[in-house]
Amino acid sequence: MSNPPSAGPPLLAIEDLRVDYGAVRAVHGVSLHVAAGEVVALLGANGAGKSTILRTISGLLRPRAGQVQLDGAPIHRLAPARIVRLGIAHSPEGRRVFGNLTVAENLRLGATSRTDRDKVPADRERMYNLFPILRERMHQVAGTLSGGEQQMLALARALMAGPRLLLLDEPSLGIAPLIVRSIFATLGELKRQGTTMLLVEQNINVALGLADRAYVLRTGEVSLTGTAAELRDNYERVAEAYLGARQ
Amino acid sequence: MSPGLYIAQQIINGVSLGSLYALVAIGLSLVFGILRMTNFAHGDMMMVGAFAALTIGAAGVPFEWSLLGGIAIGALTGVIVERVAYRPVRGAADVTLLLTSLAVTYILENLGILLFTSSPHDFPIPEWLDSSYEFSDGQITFTQVNVLTVVLTGISLSLLGWFVTRTDMGLGMRAAAEDMQAANLVGLDVNKLIVIAFALASGFAGLAGVLWAAQAGVVEPSMGFTPLLKAFVAAIIGGFGSIAGALLGGYLLGALEVFIVAFLPSELSPYRDALVFSLLIAFLLFRPNGLLRTSREVKL
């Protein structure tokens, strides 16, 4: 298990996190960390608690116990808007773009939390270069975009916040394989530029292709963790960690 | 009397009445859009605005300023009601919100009765406003109050249109109306947006209240009830929650009411409201999303 290389707290640290969804215990006792510059994947079957963890990090859910720390300071009692301002942007499951607003307006709202307003135009330009199709569709209402285009917009909207940590929830869900490849190529580009990401994915191959490390969750607990290379060489163990050991 | 002029006169009447309905309906839709809540106390902001203007005017302040005072106090009342009554029950069951807004209605109306008694008060308007225009030997007439109503509605709605399409806050309000959680995730302060929605909606209602009182010449604590129901119909016709829909519904309803009286046999005039509410039922049955709202579909 790799610990943060340098002294000082990792960018994001989660300690013994427990989250309930009504009467259901969705996450019980998960600890993980993400160092600056790292891409970490959270893998696991449906209902393993992956999205719940992301939603707790961004403040949409309150943990029953445990801690979420950014730079060593607890953030799990803060409001979502506050957490965005601290530098965590979340591209949610199902994309959730504002369908009645145009592509440009969606990007504009992505930057709504920024205090460094002067850097916003350059970032918008960067988004249009990363996703040229969005430039073409700039004045189109987001509800009319294809699923893949909406996913790109959701990503770009999150990036417009200028985040130090990007949370990605299932960017490949319901999208044609060719577009998935193109989106992950862009994510690879962002990684090379130093963007820190915590990625939730069901598609193990693309996730391990991008990530440095991964955690596998099963029914709300970490069942396996390691570097992406280790896990790639050990598919049986990953599959076992997904579904539970055969006995 | 020439039929062309008669129709023109009816259109003028319809636009004037429709403006008031549109002002009130847009407020209902703004609040519904962001909170998914039908604010039955919305009509009472008209009453608050009208009584505020009356009281300020009675102190000798010119009408222009008491009108602004009515708008401001209407907006402020809306913000207070949101903070005190609605925020604590936010996220509760629909029926809780509904009952809360009915309770607010009773409290505000009884407060009005306590302060001003339940009988109508004269609503004096200044001399410059108390005049009318006549054209074609009196075949077309309209009052200065009609003109003021249409002009102020036009200005307010243009400002609102600018706000929701050109400012971060306005765009944020539309975003929150569409997806509250996603709005949270981009860092919008949803509480602030809700306060702004209430301030705008109640300010519009305050303006509508003052204009309504200026047309009727009287104010009374229960004056907001009928316009609220009409605005409700207008908002549903247009598509509940849609700003453009409320605007369209308001003017359509205003025109319809005027035309029922003007063009249908006079025996039907007393049934004007019955016809309007039949229209509401027809819309709820056959086109519940209204004219401008298409039903939301999940897109993969």
Q: For residues A118 and B287, give the distance between their C-alpha atoms in angstroms, rounded to a whole number.
A: 47
Question: Measured between CB atoms, does A171 come within 8 Å of chain B?
Answer: no
Tell me: pLDDT of B76 over 50: yes
**Between B272 and A212, whose confidence is greater?**
A212
B299–A101 CB contact, under 8 Å: no
Report domain extents, chain A. 12-91+163-243
Q: Which domains does chain B have, with CATH numbers?
A: 3-131+141-286 (1.10.3470)
Q: Which residues pair with B141 in a beta bridge?
A: B134
Q: Is the pLDDT of residue A3 over 70?
A: no
Rg (CA), chain B: 19
Contact at CB, B175 and A58, closer than 8 angstroms: no
Compare CB distances from A96 to B179, B187, B190 and report the shortest one's residue.
B179
What is the rounded CA–CA span in Å between residue B226 and residue A208? 63
Which of A112, A160, A115 lies closest to A134 in space, CA to CA? A160
The residue of chain A nearest to residue B172, with distances taken between CA atoms, is A109
What's the whole-number average pLDDT of chain A? 92
The topology under which CATH files domain A12-91+163-243 is Rossmann fold (3.40.50)
State the nearest Cα–Cα gap between A163 and chain B, in angstroms. 11
Strands A165-169 and A88-91: parallel
pLDDT score of A22: 80
Judged by a CB distance cut-off of 8 A, whether residue B171 touches chain A is yes
* pLDDT computed for residue B289 by the predictor: 86
For residue A93, the chain B residue with the least C-alpha distance is B182
| Mean pLDDT computed over every residue of chain B | 92
pLDDT over threshold 60, residue A245: no
Q: Is any Cβ of chain B less than 8 angstroms from the Cβ of A52? A: no
| pLDDT beyond 80 at B296 | no
Sort out which chain B residues have CB atoms less than 8 A from A100's CB and list them. 174, 178
Residue of A105, A145, A150, A160 for testing the chain B interface, max B β-carbons within 10 Å: A105
Q: Could you tell me which residue, B26 or A21, shows the higher pLDDT?
A: B26
Mean pLDDT to the nearest integer, B10-32 = 95
pLDDT tens digit string along B233-273? 999 999 888 889 999 999 999 999 999 888 888 888 888 88
Kindly tell me if the per-residue pLDDT of A247 is higher than 50.
no
Compute CA A133 distance to the chain's CA centroid, rounded to the nearest angstrom: 22
B178: chain A residues, CB-CB within 8 Å: 98-101
A85 vs B contacts (CB less than 8 Å)? 187
> What are the pLDDT digits (tens) for B158-213?
999 999 999 999 999 999 999 999 999 999 999 999 999 999 999 999 999 999 99
For residues A182 and A133, the answer to whether their CB atoms sit within 8 Å is no
User: pTM for the complete prediction?
Assistant: 0.89
Beta carbons of A41 and A216 less than 8 angstroms apart: no
Residues of A in contact with B299 (CB under 8 A): 99, 143, 147, 150
To the nearest whole angstrom, how far is the Cα of A114 from the nearest Cα of chain B?
9
Mean pLDDT score, B101-130: 94
Question: How many contacts (CB atoms, under 8 Å) link A and B?
Answer: 72
The proportion of chain A whose per-residue pLDDT surpasses 70, expressed as a percent, equals: 95
Nearest to A174 among B168, B179, B300 (CB): B300
CB contact under 8 A, B186 and A157: yes
B168 and A108: CB-CB below 8 Å?
yes
In this predicted model, which residue has the larger pLDDT, A64 or B94? A64
pLDDT reported for residue A5: 53
pLDDT in tens, A65-122: 999 999 999 999 999 999 999 999 999 999 999 999 999 999 999 999 999 999 999 9
Hey, is the C-beta of B186 within 8 angstroms of any chain A C-beta? yes
CB proximity list for B62: less than 8 A, separation 6 or greater: B126
- Please answer whether residues B168 and A160 qualify as being in contact, where contact means their C-beta atoms are separated by less than 8 angstroms: no
Q: CB–CB of A70/A147 below 8 Å?
A: no
- pLDDT tens for each residue of B204-231: 999 999 999 999 999 999 999 999 999 9
pLDDT of residue B1: 65
Question: Which of residues A245 and B244 earns the better pLDDT score?
Answer: B244
Region A169-189: what's the mean pLDDT? 94
Mean pLDDT value of segment A4-13: 76
Angle, helices B63-81/B190-216, rounded to nearest 10 degrees:
140
Q: Is the pLDDT of residue A62 over 90?
A: yes
Q: pLDDT band at residue B287, thresholds of 50, 70 and 90? A: confident
Which of B164, B169, B179, B185 has the highest number of chain A CBs within 10 A, making it the mutation to test binding with A? B185
Distances (CA, A) of B116 to B2, B55, B62, B122, B125: 46, 10, 21, 12, 19
User: B190 touching A, CB under 8 A?
Assistant: yes
Q: Is B39 helix (H, G, I), strand (E, B) or coil?
A: coil
What average pLDDT does range A145-173 have in this prediction? 96
Name residues 100-119 of chain A within 8 A of B (Cβ). 100-101, 105, 108-110, 112-113
The pLDDT of residue B299 is above 70: no
| pLDDT value, residue B214 | 96
Q: What percent of chain B shows pLDDT beyond 90?
A: 74
The answer to whether A96 contacts B185, with C-beta atoms less than 8 Å apart, is yes
User: Which chain B residues are within 8 Å of A87, Cβ to Cβ?
Assistant: none
- Which pLDDT value is given to residue B219? 96
| Contact flag A80-B179 (C-beta cutoff 8 Å) | no
Residue B295, pLDDT > 60, answer no
> Which chain B residue has the Cα nearest residue A161?
B186
Check the CA dihedral A100-A104-A110-A111 and report its sign: negative
Per CB-CB distance under 8 Å, the chain A contacts of B176 are none
Sort out which chain A residues have CB atoms less than 8 A from B174's CB and list them: 98, 100-101
